[in-house]
A and B are shown apart, each in its own frame.
Chain A
Amino acid sequence: MSTTQISEEESQTIVSSPKSIILRISRSNPQTGTAKSFMEFKVPYEKWTTVLDAILEVKKHFDHSVGVRYSCRQATCGSCGMIINGKPRLACFTKIVELNSDVVTVEPMNNFPVIRDLAVNFDRMFSTHKKLKPYIVRDDSEITSKTKEFLQTPEEVEKYIQFSSCIKCGLCNSACPTMATDSSFIGPQALAQAYRYIADSRDKGKNERLKIIDEPHGIWRCHFAGSCSMVCPKGVDPAMGIQLLRGYLLGFRR
């Protein structure tokens, strides 16, 4: 079967759908100097159709050149973050019907350099994430025969478990008002991950991480707008993590 062919099942879906929306897709290509513009497509949808499905429908039937990054289609890989009707969301996790609009506008995430159309460059977010040592730091290991498994009580796990749900989709960084003006700001994603490991009772890297975030463009530039927590598709609360981290730096927490 050729790649442009529509499967029977998909064809039936399109024909049987009585409802449709106008999908406005932001098109731009900084490499060729193409300025941002919107292309509109009339896309049929069902109650289970996600925004990603609609974009892929456009790619399949109208314009295959639309640039979009996606992979798992189940809100696990964090690839398809974009601005949908003005709010940062995962395209695969946002159903058309829940938007309650006949027009769905998709744009690339804010605060990230655009590669093309809806795909943005994650390099800075990943490098900042790595800088904060997103792993357990300690000299001994639980995999050598001389040491035992590092046990934790449920209360100890409770301290950080929600922060380990982060899928690095970048929606929090996209929603952050500080990141919009301060290009050197560490960002809510990395700060939440710093808290995730600092709060882990097995970790011994607290001082190293606190030193990294305690700089002019570090944790203190957060104004607690809370928009990062509002947009997280995994229910992580980076704003709370940042406030808890501040507690360590101000001496309220040990």
Chain B
Amino acid sequence: MRESIVMKVHYGTALGAVALVAVHILFRLTQEFSKSLQYESVIANYEFLPYALVLELILVLISIHGFNGLRVILLELKQGRGYEKAVTYGCIAAMVAVIAYGSRTIILASMGMS
């Protein structure tokens, strides 16, 4: 994949994450802040499907952006064909693992199985 496409995705996920995290923070204002962080409120959020979708999207966007950022930092630290391949595939694998584990948590919580 061309680096410009990767970077377009990088910038796009950053903008998307900022917008959705803003929505996520605004949701804290729907009730008293300390109350919104109580166990029942958090579970209720997960069980509200649109909110669970927002959380899933935030997870995906931040994972893509974060792991690509990590890949870029690691590529700048050291160079070499083998190393660069390992960094790229390692970051993709880590990203998939984080998304899979996070999605599992969101799905289980939204189904009331936490």
Are the CB atoms of B3 and A215 closer together than 8 Å? yes
Would you mind naming 13 contact pairs between A and B with Cβ atoms under 8 Å apart? A182-B75, A182-B76, A184-B79, A214-B2, A214-B4, A215-B2, A216-B75, A217-B75, A220-B7, A221-B75, A250-B4, A250-B7, A250-B8
Q: Which bucket holds chain A's interface residue count?
A: 10 to 19
Closest to B5 in A: A214
Q: How distant is A179 from chain B, measured CB to nearest CB, in Å?
A: 10
The answer for the CA separation of A218 and B84 in the assembled complex, in Å, is 14
Closest 4 CB pairs of A and B: A249-B4, A182-B76, A184-B79, A214-B4
Assess whether B113 is interfacial by the CB under 8 Å rule.
no
B residues 1-35 near A (Cβ < 8 Å) are 2-4, 6-8
* Chain B interface SS verdict (over half): helix
Residues of A within 8 A of B79 (CB): 182-184, 217
Extra pairs beyond A182-B79, A215-B2, A218-B3 (7, CB < 8 Å): A182-B75, A185-B76, A216-B3, A216-B84, A217-B75, A220-B3, A250-B4
Residues of B within 8 A of A182 (CB): 75-76, 79
Residues of A within 8 A of B4 (CB): 214, 220, 249-250
Per-residue CB proximity of A181-222 to B under 8 Å, as 1/0?
Answer: 111110000000000000000000000000000111110110
Residues of B within 8 A of A221 (CB): 72, 75-76
Assess whether A178 is interfacial by the CB under 8 Å rule.
yes
Q: How distant is A53 from chain B, measured CB to nearest CB, in Å?
A: 39
Are the CB atoms of A178 and B2 closer together than 8 Å? no
Residues of B within 8 A of A215 (CB): 2-3
Residues of A within 8 A of B3 (CB): 214-216, 218, 220
A residues 235-254 near B (Cβ < 8 Å) are 249-250
Per-residue CB proximity of A137-157 to B under 8 Å, as 1/0?
Answer: 000000000000000000000
Residues of B within 8 A of A184 (CB): 79
B residues 75-92 near A (Cβ < 8 Å) are 75-77, 79, 84
The answer for the CA separation of A183 and B78 in the assembled complex, in Å, is 8
Q: How distant is A232 from chain B, measured CB to nearest CB, in Å?
A: 23
Closest to B8 in A: A250
The answer for the CA separation of A183 and B83 in the assembled complex, in Å, is 14
Residues of B within 8 A of A250 (CB): 4, 7-8
